[in-house]
Amino acid sequence: FVACFPAAEASEDVTRSLLLPVQSGHGELILVVDDEESICFSMREYFSQHGFKVDTAREIEEAEGLIKATDYRVIIQDLRLGMTRDPDGIEIIKLVHKRNPDTRIVVLTSYGSPEAEAEARRAGADAFLHKPKPLSQVAQVVQGLIESPRTHTASTKPVSA
């Protein structure tokens, strides 16, 4: 049995049982952008318990405001927010990449097609994960991105894998 995202009413014991023995976040700033409240809640709880400072946004306008006001180390985001058919998360990736190219971006979505992944990576996403994904696996990806900062020079753009 693997719990991917505990519901908002999940007990503290369930949340603690999902903890991954990753290194402490040392106060690193993370933004979680997802229209599902339970995902924002569980990610905030999980990463906060690992020493990260976590902001959440459920709408694109809220996410844009936070991104313009704060330099995040990592952003975990969905591609589609609300009932829209358009992958508005691509616009968030472009905004983040333009504002702070060193911010690492993890896309976590149910709308994952090879075309969507290619578009997200072209826009600047560092990782593309499909929901549902255990929190421990999301944390491993985040930790890996923090431990291997993007390397680029003024004459070259970051390369997507």
Judged against a pLDDT cut of 50, whether residue 20 lies above it is answered with no
N-term to C-term CA, the chain: 32
| Per-residue pLDDT band at 29 (split at 50, 70, 90) | very high
Q: Decide if pLDDT at 63 tops 90.
A: yes
What is the C-alpha to C-alpha distance for residues 59 and 44, in angstroms, rounded to an integer?
16
Average pLDDT of the residues in 57-70: 94
Strands (DSSP E) contained in 45-120 are: 53-57, 74-77, 104-109
Residue 19: the pLDDT is 44
Q: How far apart are CA 142 and CA 145, in angstroms?
A: 5
Q: How far apart are CA 42 and CA 6, in angstroms?
A: 6
Q: What's the pLDDT score for residue 14? A: 37
* Beta strand segments in the chain, E: 29-33, 53-57, 74-77, 104-109, 127-130
What single-letter DSSP state applies at residue 136?
H
The pair of three-digit structure tokens given for residue 22, joined into one six-digit string? 């990753």
The CA distance from 103 to 117, in Å, is 18
pLDDT beyond 80 at 150:
no
pLDDT for 77-129, tens place per residue? 999 887 765 667 899 999 998 999 999 999 999 887 899 999 999 999 999 99
Higher pLDDT, 36 or 160: 36
pTM of the predicted model, to two decimals?
A: 0.79
Range 29-56 average pLDDT: 96
> Given this model, what pLDDT does residue 16 score?
40
Nearest in space to 138 (alpha carbons), one of 117, 107, 97, 115: 107
- Mean local confidence (pLDDT), 45-64: 95
DSSP string of 141-155, one letter each residue: HHHHHHHS-----TT
Q: Is the pLDDT of residue 130 over 90?
A: yes
**How many whole angstroms separate alpha carbon 88 and alpha carbon 86?**
6
Adjacent-strand bridge partners of 32: 56, 76
What number of other Cβ atoms are within 10 A of residue 68's Cβ?
9
The whole-number average pLDDT for the span 69-77 is 96
Listed range (3-17, 23-37, 46-60, 131-145) with the worst mean pLDDT: 3-17
